[in-house]
Amino acid sequence: QKEVEQDPGPLSVPEGAIVSLNCTYSNSAFQYFMWYRQYSRKGPELLMYTYSSGNKEDGRFTAQVDKSSKYISLFIRDSQPSDSATYLCAMTPNTGGFKTIFGAGTRLFVKA
Amino acid sequence: NAGVTQTPKFQVLKTGQSMTLQCAQDMNHNSMYWYRQDPGMGLRLIYYSASEGTTDKGEVPNGYNVSRLNKREFSLRLESAAPSQTSVYFCASSEFLPTGSGNTIYFGEGSWLTVV
């Protein structure tokens, strides 16, 4: 079983829709949760980061962490064609060293 | 802003050939990484360098070697390429370890490697 599970999609939605992207994980030591966006033939770039449980909002994007369920989500409101990309979740335990684990990514297509 | 620059962008190798992927960052970051990305597998860490002069194995180090040439540069070498090493390779850097607590990982644009 992978430490981080993410549905690869693809997910296709019309412009203006609310998009929900999700990851589940098995390691309760994860404390930092991140979402990266990756456009085609480009490297991933950090979109949002949250610590422990709760919500964080940044413009049209909201990241949500439910540690009790080991479940994280990224919501995109008023989705735009420019949001079409692969979204990768990533998480890190609150320990030293380097143990960031990435999900496989969900491909999102927003149709105009 | 160059950020993380990696070369070459595309390469085709024959089985058994060797090659080196080059990476440089201009953000004065201490830590650098090499990942590979395969369909359905996500990003997997090959090697990382917490700081100049140190390197450590990641999740999938077999078949690879690395060199942290100086603070800016971190190269990845395939000594005897195998078809299983066909992948997209990303170099990345961050200010320091660990990469939680808002310490962002910055990625290069990727190197597409095919081994035939």
Instruction: Give A41-65 pLDDT, tens digit per residue.
Output: 999 999 998 888 889 999 999 999 9
Distances (CA, A) of B66 to A96, A100, B23, B24, B41: 22, 19, 11, 13, 22
User: Whole-angstrom Cα distance, residue A96 to residue B44?
Assistant: 19
Q: What is the pLDDT of residues B36-64, one digit of tens each?
A: 999 888 899 999 999 999 999 999 999 99
Measure in Å the smallest separation between the Cα of A80 and chain B Cα atoms: 23
* Nearest of A102, A104, A111 to residue A9 by alpha carbon: A104
Measure in Å the smallest separation between the Cα of B37 and chain A Cα atoms: 9
Query: What pLDDT, on the 0 to 100 scale, is given for residue B102?
Result: 61
Per the structure block, which two tokens stand in for A85? 């990309």
Measure in Å the smallest separation between the Cα of A78 and chain B Cα atoms: 26
Query: What pLDDT, on the 0 to 100 scale, is given for residue A13?
Result: 97
Contacts of A37 in chain B (CB under 8 A): none
Residue A102 has its nearest CB partner, among B43, B97, B98, at B43
Query: What pLDDT, on the 0 to 100 scale, is given for residue A92?
Result: 85
User: Whole-angstrom Cα distance, residue A62 to residue A47?
Assistant: 10
Per the structure block, which two tokens stand in for A79? 């989705």
Beta carbons of B50 and A98 less than 8 Å apart: yes
User: Which residue carries 């194995």 as its tokens?
Assistant: B57
Query: What pLDDT, on the 0 to 100 scale, is given for residue A100?
Result: 84
The C-alpha angle B35, B37, B39, rounded to 5 degrees, equals 165
CB of B110 within 8 Å of a chain A CB? The answer is: yes
Length of chain A as a residue count: 112
Per-residue pLDDT of chain A in tens (112 residues, 90 and over written 9)? 788 999 888 999 999 999 999 999 998 888 889 999 999 999 999 999 888 888 999 999 999 999 999 999 999 999 999 999 999 999 887 665 577 889 999 999 999 9
Asked if residue B76 lies in contact with residue B21, where contact means CB atoms within 8 angstroms, the answer is yes
Query: What pLDDT, on the 0 to 100 scale, is given for residue B101?
Result: 62
User: Whole-angstrom Cα distance, residue A19 to residue A79?
Assistant: 7
DSSP 8-class letter at B85: G
